[in-house]
């Protein structure tokens, strides 16, 4: 068995679940959900034990698939976020079925498996064609998931906006791929890097193509000024889908950005200076346009949407810091580390939102008022999540931001560092405004909010991971050490 077999098997399981529900409509959603969760968990276990060398791949995939440390990390990342999203969907099922036409949730359990396969293929892509095919597999599946709550006008509006802007970004990306191919005659990242190191390569043509590719991917990762779809889509989509978009889709976009930038910014590249400046400008703009509007949001879901934009800016700034060796991590390694810390705190936040919706509450800050009185345990977990998202010391979010800030300081990018610090300060304001509301209990008449044992267990594990990574991040750093980013053999 190879890694590719696991990826293909996961996609096949998603298709099988769709067919089973179509021909056996009386099957319970719990059976479908548990089957999807079991399949994803099995895939994760198999990923840990199968051979990780290129020779284990089918011969027809070996020219297009790479299995380095970064690829394996993102594959595991995709499986973990998919597992959590499937579980969150199962927990929120009673609430979600109220917004579907037939009360069924089969697509909510099968499409995430297909999305996961696409993200895993993107992590191993060695050329732009493979990237495009895998990216569209992910994006088209998300079109359905975002608009899944058909009885909700917000969900339908979110689906239309995501479809239109997603199609636009795809067109820009394909146009950029065509220009890069015209400039270099290559589709593989390795071939593009070699061609860009050749002084005879047309700089203007290559730069235009690279800019188009970065703009197309900018839509996918919610980078400014291509972020306008995020608040409405995140607010309208079902909560588990929003969590998947915020973490899974972002990670998929950034692994592609990492691969592309390794080619565009390779030693001797004729466009490296301009692309690096482009990243610094876009990253600085993104952190500000994500954090400053979030200060005025009354909906926690929209607040998290703007926060997601801001975090995309930090990741772009990390990618601009090439050759960072302070933490024995490349810029791509710092991005992977940041995403690994971003996963538990974001999923924990959306988990709290989903559980509140399942208990009949809304998503505004006023609905959080007195949460500590309704359920102290949930309030504590969400406090850990929001404190980490803000970057409070001794949490995982602080370590991720620290890596980015020190990388910018090492390179002397003081303007970008100033923007990042302003964004971080704004983050403390809007996150702790929500935390303060949770612990405002004076004169609040509230009814108790109940959580299942499984919900408490999952939330507790996520909170513990956030705190452990905030105090002892060394094991994760070791996994992502740039010196080990060669092809991995078991």
Q: Which two tokens stand for residue 108?
A: 């909510």
Give the span between the Cα atoms of 370 and 447, in whole angstroms: 10
Note the pLDDT of residue 33: 87
Give the span between the Cα atoms of 210 and 29, in whole angstroms: 45
Which among 145, 327, 344 is positioned nearest to 236, based on CA atoms?
145
Q: Write down how long the chain is.
A: 490
What stretches of 391-473 show up as alpha helix (H) in DSSP? 396-411, 414-438, 453-471
3-class secondary-structure state, position 106: helix
Using alpha carbons only, give the angle 180, 183, 188 rounded to the nearest 5 degrees. 50
Give the span between the Cα atoms of 326 and 122, in whole angstroms: 28
C-alpha distances out from residue 374 to 95, 108, 371, 442, Å? 19, 30, 5, 13
On whether the CB atoms of residues 88 and 243 are closer than 8 A, the answer is yes
On whether the CB atoms of residues 5 and 65 are closer than 8 A, the answer is no
pLDDT tens digits in sequence order for the chain, 490 residues long: 788 888 889 999 999 998 888 888 778 888 888 999 999 999 999 998 888 777 777 777 777 778 888 888 999 999 999 999 999 888 888 778 777 767 677 788 899 999 999 999 998 888 899 999 999 899 999 998 888 887 778 888 888 888 998 889 999 999 999 999 999 998 999 999 999 998 888 899 999 999 999 999 998 888 988 888 888 898 888 888 999 999 988 998 899 999 999 899 888 889 988 999 999 999 999 999 999 999 998 889 899 999 999 999 999 999 988 766 666 777 888 888 999 999 999 999 998 888 888 777 778 888 888 888 888 898 899 999 999 999 999 999 999 999 899 989 988 899 999 999 999 999 999 999 999 988 887 766 667 777 888 888 999 999 999 999 999 988 888 887 744 443 333 3
Q: Which two tokens stand for residue 18?
A: 């769709």
On whether the CB atoms of residues 314 and 338 are closer than 8 A, the answer is yes
Note the pLDDT of residue 56: 73
Give the span between the Cα atoms of 276 and 287, in whole angstroms: 17
On whether the CB atoms of residues 260 and 217 are closer than 8 A, the answer is yes
Note the pLDDT of residue 485: 41
Q: Which two tokens stand for residue 423?
A: 């964004």
On whether the CB atoms of residues 229 and 162 are closer than 8 A, the answer is yes
Q: What is the pTM of this model?
A: 0.91
On whether the CB atoms of residues 42 and 13 are closer than 8 A, the answer is no
Note the pLDDT of residue 453: 86
Quick one: which H or E segment has residue 171? helix 153-184
């Amino acid at each position: 068995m190879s890694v590719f077999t696991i990826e293909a098997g996961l996609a096949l399981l998603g298709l099988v679940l769709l067919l089973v529900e179509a021909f056996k409509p009386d099957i319970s959603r719990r059976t479908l959900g548990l089957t999807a969760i079991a399949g994803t968990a099995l895939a994760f276990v198999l990923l840990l034990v199968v051979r990780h060398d290129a020779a284990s791949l089918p011969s027809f995939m070996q020219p297009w698939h790479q299995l380095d440390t970064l690829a394996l990390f993102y594959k595991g990342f995709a499986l973990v976020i998919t597992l959590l999203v499937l579980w969150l969907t199962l927990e929120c099922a009673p609430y979600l079925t109220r917004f579907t036409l037939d009360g069924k949730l089969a697509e909510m359990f099968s499409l995430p498996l297909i999305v996961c396969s696409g993200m895993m293929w993107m992590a191993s892509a060695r050329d732009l064609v493979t990237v495009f095919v895998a990216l569209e597999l992910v994006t088209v599946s998300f079109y359905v998931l975002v608009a899944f709550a058909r009885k909700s006008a917000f969900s339908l509006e979110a689906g239309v906006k995501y479809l239109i802007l997603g199609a636009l970004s795809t067109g820009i990306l394909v146009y950029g791929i065509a220009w890069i191919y015209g400039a270099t005659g290559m589709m593989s990242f390795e071939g593009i890097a070699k061609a860009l190191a050749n002084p005879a390569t047309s700089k203007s043509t290559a730069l235009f193509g690279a800019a188009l590719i970065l703009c197309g991917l900018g839509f996918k990762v919610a980078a400014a000024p291509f972020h306008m779809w995020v608040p409405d889509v995140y607010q309208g989509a079902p909560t588990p889908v929003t969590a998947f978009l915020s973490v899974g889709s972002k990670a998929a976009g950034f692994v592609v950005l990492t691969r592309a930038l390794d080619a565009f910014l390779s030693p001797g590249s004729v466009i490296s200076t301009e692309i690096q400046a482009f990243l610094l400008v876009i990253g600085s703009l993104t952190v500000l346009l994500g954090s400053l509007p979030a200060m005025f949001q009354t909906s926690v879901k929209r607040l998290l949407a703007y926060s997601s934009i801001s975090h995309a800016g930090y990741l772009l700034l990390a990618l601009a810091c090439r050759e960072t060796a302070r933490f024995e991590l490349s810029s791509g390694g710092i991005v992977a580390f940041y995403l690994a810390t971003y996963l538990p705190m974001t999923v924990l936040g959306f988990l709290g939102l989903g559980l509140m919706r399942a208990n009949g509450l809304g998503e505004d800050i006023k609905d959080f008022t007195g949460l500590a009185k309704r359920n102290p345990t949930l309030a504590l977990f969400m406090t850990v999540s929001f404190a980490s998202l803000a970057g409070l010391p001794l949490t995982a979010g602080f370590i991720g931001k620290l890596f980015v800030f020190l990388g910018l300081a090492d390179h002397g990018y003081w303007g970008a560092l100033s923007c990042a610090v302003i964004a971080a300060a704004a983050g403390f304001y809007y996150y702790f405004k929500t935390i303060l509301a949770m612990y405002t209990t004076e004169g609040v008449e509230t009814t108790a909010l109940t959580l299942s044992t499984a919900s408490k267990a999952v939330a507790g594990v996520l909170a513990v991971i956030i705190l452990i990574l905030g105090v002892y991040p060394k094991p994760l750093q070791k996994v992502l050490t740039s010196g080990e980013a060669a092809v991995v053999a078991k």
